[in-house]
């Protein structure tokens, strides 16, 4: 085996999770936010996709959120800012 080491590796996807609120009204959020889907028969959370940076977020009524598709810390910062502002505006 010819070892390449860490130089051949690159970060493709970062997943971040945490609590962003005490509670979130998913019905309201999915009605008012574009690109936000809610189908409680299939999944208990709302799926909110943003384009730039390209991130998919899973938002739960408990206030928990999971962000996927993050490429770097700046994407996390920018994406979370967009998501939080969208939730405030809903």
3-state secondary structure the chain: CCCCCHHHCCCCCEEEEEECCCCCCHHHHHHHCCCEEECCCCCCCEEEEECCCCEEEEECCCCEEEEEEECCHHHHHHHHHHHHHHHHHC
In-domain check, residue 7: no
Q: Please give the residue range of the domain that contains residue 67.
A: 13-89
In the predicted model, is pLDDT for residue 1 greater than 70?
A: no
Residue pLDDT, tens place only, 42-77: 999 999 999 999 999 999 999 999 999 999 999 999
What average pLDDT does the segment 84-89 reach? 96
pLDDT band for position 5 (50/70/90)? confident
In the predicted model, is pLDDT for residue 20 greater than 90?
A: yes
pLDDT band for position 81 (50/70/90)? very high
How many separate domains does the chain show? Answer: 1
In-domain check, residue 79: yes
Report yes or no on whether pTM surpasses 0.85.
Answer: yes
Q: 74: domain CATH number?
A: 3.30.310.10
């Amino acid at each position: 085996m010819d070892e390449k080491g860490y130089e051949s590796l690159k970060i493709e996807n970062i997943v971040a999770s945490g609590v962003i609120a005490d509670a979130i009204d998913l019905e309201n959020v999915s009605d008012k936010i574009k690109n936000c889907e809610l189908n409680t028969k299939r999944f208990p959370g709302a799926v909110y996709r943003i384009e730039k940076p390209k991130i998919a977020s899973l938002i739960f009524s408990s206030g928990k959120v999971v962000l996927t598709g993050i490429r770097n810390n700046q994407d996390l910062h920018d994406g979370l800012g967009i998501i939080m502002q969208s939730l405030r505006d809903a």
